[in-house]
Structure 1
Amino acid sequence: MGIILATSRSFSDGDIDLVARAADAGHEIVRGPAHHELHTLAPLLAIADAWIAGTGPVTAAHLDAAPNLRVIARYGVGTEAVDIDAAEARGILVTNTPGANADAVADHAVGLMLSALRCIPDGDRRVRDGDWGVRRGRELGAATVGIVGFGRIGQGVARRLSGFGPRILAADPFLPAERIRELGAEPVEVDELFRTADLITLHAPGGQQLVAGALLDSIRRGAIIVNTARPDLVDEREVAHALRDGILAGYAADTLDGDTAASASPLLAPELADRVIVTPHLGAQTTQAVDNMGSMSLDDVIAVLAGREPAFPVIRKAAS
């Protein structure tokens, strides 16, 4: 029997009983905190054969505390919180769940676009305060939408937008221009996208800062930015200035720098509440996405513990 540590809050919280699936395969699920604080996790890591990890950090120190660990299954797509080199050096496989939450996040991105364009959260707040004054919005079909990063989620956004009828631009250095056209968008460089788009939606990987400096200075006046990707793509202080100066008309995001510790974010200033929408990392929180991420991560863990290759490896076991 293997011990599988699960530190994602939503693991087995959908329609599929993944705890029972693990038991049927001869394994036990033990729960740990999503924040991954080492002093709390260390006793659980000491007995774990596998780790289904949420968004918290997975460091070399965590791995040193887990002498029996054979696989880390990232519950999601991004692996930037995992020390891949440390895992590889210890012969620990790392997997993830590509595409598991793509539809959910694409849905949420379009929802944030409509909310920002039509001032929906601000309208709700006004009515609750007895103010039925109207703020005029804009129609999605009349906009030029720029998609930065045209992978699974960006492509899903384009498919959903096709029913509204906007002009769709896409910037992605990893896709040929012809492929972008086949998928329903006009290929452009990112600087042209910023100059041209009325609404910019970010689906690029983290580890880079896009909405800052020269790119932000060149943005089309009155543009709206949607970020369901990573907080480090955006310089929040510069975006707050752009909102105050009227350069940006709105910012809608499913993430902030520091997230739950981000109460001091300049984007949460009360005077920006009518132009800023923030949701608490709920883009991937649908029953279907939770089941997909949980099933994919658990299936790979079961495969590794049985001596088989996982379906979605991020790295291969290091050579001895």
Structure 2
Amino acid sequence: MNKKVFITSRSFGQVSDRPLKILSQNNIEYDFKSKPSLLEEKDFLNVIDKYDALIVGADKITEKVIEKGKNLKIICKHGTGVDNIDLNAAKKNNVCVTNVAGVNSDAVADTTFGLIIDIARRLSYASNIVKCGEWTKVIGVDVHNKTLGIIGFGAIGKKVAKRALGFDMKVIAYDPFINKLPDNYDKVQLSGFQYILKNSDFLTLHIPLNKGTRNLIDEPQMSIMKKGSFIINASRGGIINEDALYKNIINGHLAGAGLDVVEKEPAKGNPLLKLDNVVILPHIASYSKEAIDSVSTTCSWNVVKKLNNETPDNIIV
């Protein structure tokens, strides 16, 4: 009997048929979820016992789902963040969890730097003015020669740093898991968390969401940031306290924000949407054609490897 994988990520295989061919050529059958919205626990519980593998997007994979998946061997995150998967339950039930760390880092870094330029020069705001029939000159601020603070110096943080250095920015970085930077990042200054907050013109976040990072950037942290500085978040909603962000932008302490993610997605009703100096994207930082195809292909190969008793890449647990 062929093995089966359930695919819930909407972007999986949307660029090319290569990821699906990898599965088929290795005698692995696949099903896609039947509705466009995120699946709930009950949706998984109704079908999970039929599958040997999952390829998931943002759908929440709970302990109950993992425990009922008697044939489940691997959960592949079609992305990087695994905060929607119960890792403890996976480990307890001997289910492998993988992600695609590093595979989509260039796409996310490009989006991050796009947000930096956008909010600095107020490009989206200016474009909207023109579309409304006006021709008002909008004044922004320069990006070059400014200080970029990077929280989290993993694969994406490093790629963002390279782009920033190309704009003659001073780059300072904080990562609690790094004591020394690689030699090819000698122009980046490794600094403490408080120093980053106090000295950055632009603060960008590239860290996972967990108990230690939820509301990491809250009122106390924003209060010591430079007046007129910007926050960029292309990692996970929930790392920034959005109420505090709204307050600090309204009172003029912060100049604006560029967000690919918010705590509650979709962002309908979010008060930040009303602010002209805030750009919010629909969680698309990794959505380039090249990145999606690479991520999908990596997930397919991870499923193939695990179901053939080989070691997949990017194992989390």
Task: Give the TM interval when normalised to the shorter protein.
Answer: over 0.9
Distance verdict in 2 for CA 1:21–1:181, change over 3 Å: closer
Partner Cα distance (1:181, 1:189) in 2: 20
Q: In structure 2, what residue type is equivalent to 1:64?
A: E
Q: In structure 2, what residue type is equivalent to 1:250?
A: G
Query: What corresponds to 2:228 in structure 1?
Result: 222
- What is the 5 A alignment of 1:21-100? 21-32=22-33, 33=35, 35-100=38-103
Any conservation in 1 of the 2:197–2:226 contact (CA below 8 Å)? yes
Query: What corresponds to 1:285 in structure 2?
Result: 287
Deviations 1:115-134 (A, max 9, x none): 00110010011111222111
| 1:55 Cα offset (Å) | 1.4
What secondary structure, in the 3-state scheme, does the structure 2 residue paired with 1:73 have?
strand
- What is the 5 A alignment of 1:117-196? 117-179=120-182, 182-196=185-199
Deviations 1:148-168 (A, max 9, x none): 111110100011112211111
Q: In structure 2, what residue type is equivalent to 1:105?
A: V
What TM-score, normalized by structure 2, do the two folds share?
0.94
Counting aligned pairs with the same residue, the percent is 27
Distance verdict in 2 for CA 1:183–1:297, change over 3 Å: farther
Query: What corresponds to 1:318 in structure 2?
Result: none
Gaps of at least 5 residues in structure 1 are: 316-320
| 1:42 Cα offset (Å) | 2.9
Gaps of at least 5 residues in structure 2 are: none
What secondary structure, in the 3-state scheme, does the structure 2 residue paired with 1:99 have?
coil
Q: In structure 2, what residue type is equivalent to 1:71?
A: I
Distance verdict in 2 for CA 1:178–1:24, change over 3 Å: closer
Deviations 1:84-103 (A, max 9, x none): 11112222111111111100
Any conservation in 1 of the 2:41–2:62 contact (CA below 8 Å)? no
Deviations 1:297-316 (A, max 9, x none): 1111111111212122212x
| 1:29 Cα offset (Å) | 1.1
Partner Cα distance (2:249, 2:216) in 1: 16
Tell me which of 280, 295, 298 is aligned to 1:296.
298
| 1:280 Cα offset (Å) | 0.3
Deviations 1:16-63 (A, max 9, x none): 421122111001110125612133233331211111111111101112
Distance verdict in 2 for CA 1:177–1:313, change over 3 Å: closer
What secondary structure, in the 3-state scheme, does the structure 2 residue paired with 1:46 have?
helix
What secondary structure, in the 3-state scheme, does the structure 1 residue paired with 2:238 have?
helix
Deviations 1:166-216 (A, max 9, x none): 111111111124448835311111111111111111112212122213211
Alignment pair present for 1:5 and 2:10? no
Query: What corresponds to 1:263 in structure 2?
Result: 268
Q: In structure 2, what residue type is equivalent to 1:221?
A: K
Any conservation in 2 of the 1:180–1:186 contact (CA below 8 Å)? no
Any conservation in 2 of the 1:2–1:28 contact (CA below 8 Å)? yes
What secondary structure, in the 3-state scheme, does the structure 2 residue paired with 1:169 have?
strand
Any conservation in 1 of the 2:22–2:301 contact (CA below 8 Å)? no
Distance verdict in 2 for CA 1:75–1:210, change over 3 Å: same
Any conservation in 2 of the 1:181–1:187 contact (CA below 8 Å)? no
Q: In structure 1, what residue type is equivalent to 2:104?
A: N
Partner Cα distance (1:185, 1:110) in 2: 17
| 1:220 Cα offset (Å) | 0.2
Partner Cα distance (2:301, 2:75) in 1: 12
